[in-house]
Amino acid sequence: MFDSVFKVVYFVEFVVISIVRTAHTRQYRRLSIAVDRKTLPDIILLALAGLGLLVPLVYVFSSLLDFASYNLPTWTGWLGAVIFAVAIWLLWRSHADLGRNWIPTLGIRDDHQLVTNGVFEQIRHPMYAAHILWGVAAVLMLHNWIAGFPILVVSVAHYLSRVNAEEQMMLQHFGEGYKSYMKRTGRIIPRFRR
């Protein structure tokens, strides 16, 4: 019974987070990039992320993956729904705070600004945090070994493969300003200042 409720809640939240990302992706494509450092592994991970998004939907809309289901207490599904809502808010807020500075691959815009306000006041990489939270939510909501884990696995792999290069690029572009920013913020876990 609750399994189907969580499938519906997951799908609704998936639609909302997809709308948030799509709106900002349209804006991104209209703006020029001064420095483009995307790599083949980055492109592969982005493609895998897209595939990772489809597997939970197969589980939500069919019984093909039911053989890999497992049971968790009902409260874990509700906790997952709340975590997913936080991920949606964090992704939306990150895009809103970044504005024209967002690029889905490693790069710098012509008029790129260092954003240190909003959610970026406590955390340098809130989009990675949002995607990892989404992955945790999927594990808690979709009690299935195949459908529950792809988003988490790909999100963690993407974060680990890219965050150091991204921070190095930002240090090269923004220098001491970014170094100072790094000292007062957390990477994906907020560092609240007094």
pLDDT digits (tens, 9 = 90+) for 127-171: 999 999 999 999 999 999 999 999 999 899 889 988 999 999 999
Alpha-carbon separation of residue 130 from 97, 136, 159 (angstroms): 14, 10, 11
First-residue to last-residue Cα distance in the chain: 46
Predicted confidence band at 120 (pLDDT cuts at 50, 70, 90)?
Answer: very high
Domains and CATH numbers, the chain: 2-184 (1.20.120.1630)
pLDDT at 183 over 70: yes
Asked if 10 and 142 count as a contact pair (C-beta separation under 8 A), the reply is yes
Which pLDDT does position 100 carry in this prediction? 83
Q: Compute φ and ψ for 65, nearest 5 degrees.
A: -105, 10
What is the arithmetic mean of pLDDT over 81-102?
Answer: 93
Site of tokens 């207490």:
73
**What percentage of the chain has pLDDT greater than the value 70?**
92
The whole-angstrom separation of Cα 14 and Cα 61 is: 13
Asked if 185 and 122 count as a contact pair (C-beta separation under 8 A), the reply is yes
